[in-house]
């Protein structure tokens, strides 16, 4: 393992105040989003959409890297240029989602553990040889603060933390920077304080597991949720309250050695995600660069505008770049709702 090369890649992922474009939805998830808009759920439509995203002019001015799923990783433009090459030629770092999805956790109703460790060493080697710079693995943690529920269980947190740590060790061994994505879901009525407590407990255990497995903290990127009340919670907090709780949580549990934190959007609207990211950057200096690695909050409304029609190509790319520029501004504390009036 060349640790120095890994460290430099991790730093490059958050350099220049840029963020990551997550476009690694599995074929199933992508199909569901297509079908909701009346777009044909075929491999060719998924390929065409990803080609459109990756060939967006000036994407690299706000975006440092892209996360692909296995299907996209092996696809090419209509003219035959492999997507990995297209991204690299555009100056983008290439990431690959390597987990095989969150599956029901045995004996724990309503909870999931992310799978994909079997054969991972060989898969990582192949991705690295084909041009990947980094990898991603997402764990999903459900919160159940009502109806007498007690999620997440310690078992769920432990199982996911261990899987994340074993994945991360294999990534570093293969020369890929691991993105560690432990996501506390926004679904539910839980409060901001509850989300903070769960996120803190989860991240604490994840970093303990990473340390136990010997993972170099200097050569990974953390991709957490922002600390937010559940989507159905009666009280929704201001961007400043979200920023305060998120930073308090992260400062307590994320070692300063970590080279960067890139938030997921988790189902927030594009505007909310940008305004909360902005609020995070109005607060005092943090030990790590804080950035974004959004899928939905970057791709919507671009996907709606595309509507499966090549004629909408330019408008789709414009919408994607708009969200990318809003988030780029947010990383400088320069985003405001005025940017949305176009």
Binding site for ligand 13P (CB under 6 A): 22, 24, 138, 181, 264-266, 294-297
In angstroms, give the least distance from the CB of 326 to ligand 13P: 14
Nearer to ligand 13P, 10 or 310 (CB): 10
Cβ atoms of 300 and 39 closer than 8 Å = no
Q: Residue 203 or residue 295: which is nearer to ligand 13P going by CB?
A: 295
- What whole-number distance in Å separates Cα of residue 214 and Cα of residue 208? 10
Nearer Cβ to ligand 13P (216/298):
298
Q: Rounded CA gap, 237 and 233, in Å?
A: 10
H or E element at residue 184: strand 177-184
Q: Which two tokens stand for residue 236?
A: 């929704």
Least Å distance, CB 20 to ligand 13P, is 9
Cβ at position 297, least distance to ligand 13P in Å: 6
The closest of 60, 36, 58, 40 to 49, measured between CA atoms, is: 40
In whole angstroms, give the CA distance from residue 113 to residue 226.
21
Min. distance of Cβ 86 from ligand 13P in angstroms?
19
Q: Which residues of 137-165 are buried (b: 16+ CB within 10 A; e: fewer)?
A: bbbbbbbbbeeeeebbbeebbebbbbbbb
Pair 291, 262: CB distance under 8 Å: yes
**Minimum CB separation from ligand 13P for residue 212, in Å?**
25
Nearer residue to ligand 13P within complex by CB, 207 or 263: 263
Query: Which secondary-structure segment (H or E) carries 270?
Result: helix 270-280
Shortest CB 294 distance to ligand 13P, Å: 4
Asked whether the bond before 152 is cis by omega within 30 degrees of 0, the reply is yes
Contact 260, 211 (CB under 8 A): no
Q: Smaller CB distance to ligand 13P: residue 225 or 237?
A: 225
Helix axes 120-129, 154-174, angle to 10 degrees: 40
φ, ψ for residue 82, nearest 5 deg: -60, 140
- Please give the positions annotated as active site: 223
Nearer to ligand 13P, 33 or 194 (CB): 33
**Residues 172, 227: Cα–Cα separation, whole Å:** 28
Residue 99, helix vs strand vs coil = coil
């Amino acid at each position: 393992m060349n640790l120095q090369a890994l460290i430099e890649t991790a730093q490059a992922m958050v350099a220049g105040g840029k963020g990551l474009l997550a476009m690694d939805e599995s074929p199933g998830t992508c199909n569901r989003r297509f079908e909701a808009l009346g777009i044909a759920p075929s491999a060719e439509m998924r390929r065409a959409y990803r080609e459109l995203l990756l060939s967006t002019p000036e994407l690299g001015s706000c975006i440092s890297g892209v996360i692909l799923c296995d299907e996209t990783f092996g696809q090419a433009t209509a003219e035959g240029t492999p997507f990995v090459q297209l991204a690299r030629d555009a100056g983008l770092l290439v990431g690959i989602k390597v987990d095989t999805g969150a599956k029901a956790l045995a004996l724990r109703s309503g909870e999931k553990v992310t799978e994909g460790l079997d054969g991972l060493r060989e898969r990582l080697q192949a991705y690295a040889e084909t041009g990947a710079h980094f990898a991603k693995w997402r764990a999903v943690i459900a919160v159940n603060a009502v109806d007498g529920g007690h999620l997440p269980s310690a078992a769920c947190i432990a199982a996911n933390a261990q899987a994340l740590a074993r994945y991360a060790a294999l990534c570093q061994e293969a020369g890929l920077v691991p993105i560690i994505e432990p996501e506390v879901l926004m679904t539910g009525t839980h409060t901001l304080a509850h989300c903070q407590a769960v996120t803190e407990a989860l991240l604490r255990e994840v970093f303990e597991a990473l340390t136990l497995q010997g993972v170099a903290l200097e050569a990974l990127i953390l991709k957490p949720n922002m600390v937010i009340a559940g989507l159905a919670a009666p009280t929704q907090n201001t961007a400043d309250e979200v920023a305060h709780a998120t930073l308090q949580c992260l400062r307590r549990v994320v070692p300063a050695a970590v080279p960067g934190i890139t938030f997921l959007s988790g189902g927030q609207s594009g505007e909310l995600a940008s305004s909360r990211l902005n609020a995070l950057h109005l607060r005092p200096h943090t030990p790590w660069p804080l950035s974004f690695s959004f899928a939905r909050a970057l791709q919507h409304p671009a996907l709606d505008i595309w509507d499966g029609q090549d004629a909408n190509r330019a408008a789709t790319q414009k919408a994607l770049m708009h969200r990318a520029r809003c988030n780029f501004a947010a990383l400088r504390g320069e985003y405001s709702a005025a940017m949305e009036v176009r």
